[in-house]
Amino acid sequence: MIATIVIVFSLVYIGMILGGLPFLQLDRTGIAVLGAIALIATESLTLEEAGRALHVPTLILLFSFMVISAQLRLGGFYTLVTEKLGTLRVSPAVFLAALIAAAAGLSSVFSNDVVCLATAPVLIDVCVNRRLDPVPFLLALSCSSNIGSAVTLIGNPQNMLIGETLKMSFVDYLRDAAVPVGLGLAITWLLIALIWRGRWEFEPSGIGVDQDPRLERHARFDPWQTIKGLSVAAALFAAFLFSGWPREILALGGAGVLLLSRKLHSRHMLGLVDWQIILMFIGLFIVNHALEMTELPRQAVSALANAGLDLHDLGPLYGASFLLSNVVSNVPAVMLLLPMATHPDAGLLLALSSTFAGNLLIIGSIANIIVVDAAARRNIVITWRRHAMVGVPVTLLTIAVGAAWYWSRMR
């Protein structure tokens, strides 16, 4: 039975690294779900054990904020914000700064993936109308969305998992993460502004029309639906700051309020929920729990500690999170490392490093992939090298800033 669990776990994480498995039409979500099915089908885990493996509060929080984001997408909020930014009569560098601030602020509440999905196509149109090269602004969108999402415990899936599992204070985390996130956003603006200085203008003749039938056109702005969604989000944010009630229960109640609508059909709302992410969480919860039952992870961590690399210490944990996040992606990396997050500040550093690491490569985060795909549909090519020109220095500098800020504060 242990051999079966190790084989399944290994195949699942090889799939996480490769983004699929040879000769099979599987993505990371399919691999995680198939791994969970294999463990249950071979009776390596019982259904009861698989159920206990799920961290239900994280799944509820993730689902609830996806519903809130769906409300704002259907209400045209993201489209409105992006178009309003495009009407600012400012220089390209100032427009870049405004975009970074807006993307980071939205991502801190409504998830970086959703923000990029909703705003990237509109941003391309804005750049075309202003005759600006869309590439630096698209890179700024993905980088700032990733960095901005690190400032709260609801900004991205891995932060939700960390916050719910470790029972972290929403206020304390926000206060501690604000400085490195703010510095990271400033670094992003400075790097892109320097790289594209004097080269902002662009002739948009080669940009095509996005004709992907799976994608909705830019949602028209609906004031009432937007106000409704923003009101629920603001009420939840205030409750997270000033009350001790369980975040997942508050968020679920907010999602329920939004589903009570006379105009927006629940089919449309729930259709915008990213079930792929939720299913990947479920699959990985089960696969990781099965391996933990074998005691092999504990033995491996002990062996590393005896060799001088104790993952319970903050330095090795911070570095391991950065490396693993770029090997298997940040959510699986966080799931693997959470059992080692025993230090009071481990949750903070794990959240910062796993999120900042997402900017290194295109595959480092779903937000990067969303932006690159949106560009490709309009004949705008963002190659690995072009992304790395911004992503690599942004990642290395933000990781260094996060570490330096934390250890200087401790001193």
| Residue range 294-309, pLDDT digits in tens | 888 888 888 888 888 8
Cα–Cα distance for residue pair 390/91, rounded to 1 Å? 21
Question: Does the residue 5 lie in any domain?
Answer: no
Question: Does the residue 165 lie in any domain?
Answer: yes
Decide: 147 and 189 in contact? Cβ < 8 Å. Answer: no
| Residue range 189-244, pLDDT digits in tens | 999 999 998 888 876 665 655 554 444 455 678 888 899 999 999 999 999 988 88
pLDDT of residue 306: 84
Q: What share of the chain is helix, strand, coil (3-state, %, to 5)?
A: 75, 0, 25
Question: Does the residue 13 lie in any domain?
Answer: no
User: 132 forms bridges with which residues in the sheet?
Assistant: 201
The pLDDT mean for the chain works out to 89
Task: Summarize the confidence of residues 378-385 as an average pLDDT.
Answer: 88
Cα–Cα distance for residue pair 354/159, rounded to 1 Å? 9
Question: Does the residue 49 lie in any domain?
Answer: no
pLDDT higher than threshold 50 for residue 24: yes
Tell me what percent of the residues of the chain surpass a pLDDT of 70. Answer: 96
**Burial (CB count <10 Å: 0-12, 13-18, 19+), residue 270:** middle
Kindly state the tokens that stand for 314: 């903050």
pLDDT of residue 206: 59
User: Which residues constitute the domain of residue 259?
Assistant: 56-273+296-410
- More confident site: 186 or 219: 186
| Residue range 145-170, pLDDT digits in tens | 999 999 999 998 899 999 999 999 99
Question: Does the residue 1 lie in any domain?
Answer: no
Tell me what percent of the residues of the chain surpass a pLDDT of 90. Answer: 52
pLDDT of residue 215: 46
Q: Which of 93, 115, 62 is nearest to 368 (CA)?
A: 115
pLDDT of residue 204: 66
pLDDT higher than threshold 50 for residue 38: yes
pLDDT of residue 185: 97
How many folded domains does the chain comprise?
1
pLDDT of residue 389: 93
Q: Sorting pLDDT into bands at 50, 70 and 90, what band is 31?
A: very high
| Residue range 270-292, pLDDT digits in tens | 988 888 889 988 999 999 989 88
Radius of gyration of the chain (CA): 21
Helices (H), 357-410: 366-376, 384-410
| Residue range 354-373, pLDDT digits in tens | 999 989 988 788 888 889 88
Q: What is the pTM of this model?
A: 0.87
In this structure, the number of other CB atoms found within 10 A of the CB of residue 302 comes to: 11
What backbone phi and psi angles, to 5 degrees, belong to 246? -55, 130
